[in-house]
């Protein structure tokens, strides 16, 4: 039985004061015992703030990226050990904004995935195709390639330590979420590639998930939760999505 997971990706948004309010709202709205697991991902400078405020709640912490380096003279980098030290449970790797704006390639992403596992946290491997890929009928090829690069580096057993997030790039921040059928097709393809090992791996959907689209997506059998960007900045909307899961 795969436990549902909703992760709020705050990206490079917020400041100390707005985060404080959002975290207060979130912990009071998402109070008590729930089947669904919830995690939030503030920008690096605010991880300590969030860790402190979420300490006695059932909301965990997720980092948006990680370095492959362990320590030393790597200015600007943040190691997996540091993120674990801050109390992170999850770390995203391969988000399309990192692949696109920072030219992160397959090998680096696989190395990041491994670094997170070695530090005893859970990587969330983001995969997704562009509009051009979809229009050219290359969605499955692209997703398969992105996934297999990590499987080849870490093995199926290694991949099973993480979570996969299918995030079509054309759906991120556009207000145009994939339909539940489009998402389910890719999720079931991912599960098919992973074989029996894949039965336990959680596969999240990400891309313009909102309270009104969440329920339809979560009704699909291979969609185990969501990676939520824009809507996670509003505690009420985010909690509505968590409740739908």
b/e burial code for range 205-229 (CB count within 10 A of at least 16 → b): bbbbbebebbeebbebebbbbbbbb
Angle ∠(25,27,29) on CA atoms, nearest 5? 65
Taking CB under 6 A as the rule, does residue 9 contact ligand PEP? yes
Residue tagged active-site, from 37, 95, 97, 129: 95
CA atoms within 13 A on the CB side of 126: 27
**How many whole angstroms separate alpha carbon 204 and alpha carbon 210?**
14
Q: Smallest gap, in angstroms, from Cβ of residue 186 to ligand PEP?
A: 14
Binds ligand PEP by CB under 6 A, chosen from 45, 105, 155, 173? 173
d(CA 205, CA 214): 10
| Candidate segments 75-83, 117-125, 150-158, 167-175, binder of ligand PEP by CB under 6 A | 167-175
Contacts (Cβ under 8 Å, ≥6 apart) of 103: none
Ligand-binding annotation for 21, yes or no, is no
Residue from the set 110, 230, 238, 245 that interacts with ligand PEP by CB under 6 A = 230
Main-chain dihedrals φ then ψ at residue 64, nearest 5 degrees: -90, -15
Q: Does 168 bind ligand PEP (CB under 6 A)?
A: no
**Beta-bridge partners for 227:** 7, 206
The residue number whose beta carbon is nearest to ligand PEP equals 229
The reply to whether 14 sits near ligand PEP by the rule CB under 6 A is no
Query: Which positions from 200 through 219 interact with ligand PEP, judged by CB under 6 A?
Result: 206-209
Total residues at interface with ligand PEP (CB under 6 A): 13
| Residue 95 appears among annotated catalytic residues | yes
The residues of the shown chain that bind ligand PEP, judged by CB under 6 A, are: 9, 167, 172-173, 206-209, 227-231
* Residue positions forming the annotated binding site for substrate: 9-11, 173, 208, 229-230
Active site amino acids: 95, 167
């Amino acid at each position: 039985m795969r436990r549902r997971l909703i992760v709020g990706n705050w990206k490079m948004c917020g400041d100390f004061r707005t985060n404080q309010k959002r975290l207060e709202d979130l912990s009071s709205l998402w109070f008590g015992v729930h089947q669904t697991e919830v995690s939030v991902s503030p920008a690096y400078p605010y991880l300590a703030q969030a860790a402190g405020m979420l300490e006695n709640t059932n909301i965990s912490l997720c980092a948006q990226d990680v370095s492959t380096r362990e320590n030393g003279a790597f200015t600007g980098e943040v190691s997996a050990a540091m993120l674990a030290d801050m109390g992170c449970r999850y770390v995203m790797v391969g988000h399309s904004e990192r692949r696109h704006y920072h030219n992160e390639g397959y090998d680096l992403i696989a190395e990041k995935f491994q670094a997170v596992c070695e530090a005893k946290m859970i990587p969330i491997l983001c995969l997704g195709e562009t509009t051009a890929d979809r229009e050219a009928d290359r969605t499955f090829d692209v997703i398969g390639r992105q996934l297999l690069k990590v499987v080849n580096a870490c093995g199926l057993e290694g991949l099973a330590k993480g979570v996969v997030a299918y995030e079509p790039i054309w759906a991120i921040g556009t207000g145009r979420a994939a339909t539940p059928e489009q998402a389910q097709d890719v999720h079931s393809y991912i599960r098919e590639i992973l074989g029996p090992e894949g039965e336990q791996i959680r596969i999240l959907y990400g891309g313009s998930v909102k309270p009104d689209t969440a329920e339809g997506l979560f009704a699909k059998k291979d969609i185990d939760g969501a990676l939520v960007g824009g809507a996670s900045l509003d505690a009420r909307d985010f909690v509505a999505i968590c409740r739908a899961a």
